[in-house]
Amino acid sequence: MEILAKLGIDWRLLIAQLINFIILLVILYKFLYGPIIKMLESREKKIKKSLEQADKIQKDWEKAQTKEEELLAKARSESKKIIEEARVMAEKTGVDLKAKTKQEMDQLILQAKEQINSEKEKMRQELSDEVADLVITATQKVLGEHVSSKELDKKLVQEVIQGIKV
């Protein structure tokens, strides 16, 4: 204590200042430092929670992006498949339509040929009948009388005409 006295320090005053400093530290710790530490810890927890939420949101966003890309790829492949099926179907329909049209045309041509042949045969028969009537009439006029029955004459003329056709 002599050393303190030689330095000009009063030990009682030093102890009082030390007690005052300790009281001040206790008051500051209790009323200022403690609440500040609690507030800082609270902020740290909020920041940590916000960072965790941000990480979660980032991961969710990345998953959503991946899922969106997968859906887009799937939609593209499905659209290509639908377009290809439509093209194939259109080609098949075109081929079927062409075949059906050709078949209908062939049938119409066949019907027209049959009708023409039928008309042709009818006209031949009418012409043959008229020629037979003309021959009979001409023969009657030349001979002046009726030699046999009209039916028999017609039959004879028809046979002659048939012989000429061949």
Q: Find tokens 């507030």 and name the residue.
A: 39
Q: Find tokens 């609440």 and name the residue.
A: 35
Span 6-46, pLDDT tens digits = 788 887 888 999 999 999 999 998 888 888 889 999 999 99
Q: For the residues 143-148, what does the mean pLDDT come to?
A: 59
Q: How many Å apart are CA 141 and CA 154, to the nearest integer?
A: 16
Average pLDDT, the chain: 86
Q: For the residues 76-90, what does the mean pLDDT come to?
A: 94
Q: Any idea where the domains of the chain sit in the sequence?
A: 2-165
Contacts of 11 (CB under 8 A, 6+ apart): 1, 4, 5
Q: How many Å apart are CA 137 and CA 127, to the nearest integer?
A: 15
Q: Is 166 a residue whose pLDDT tops 60?
A: no
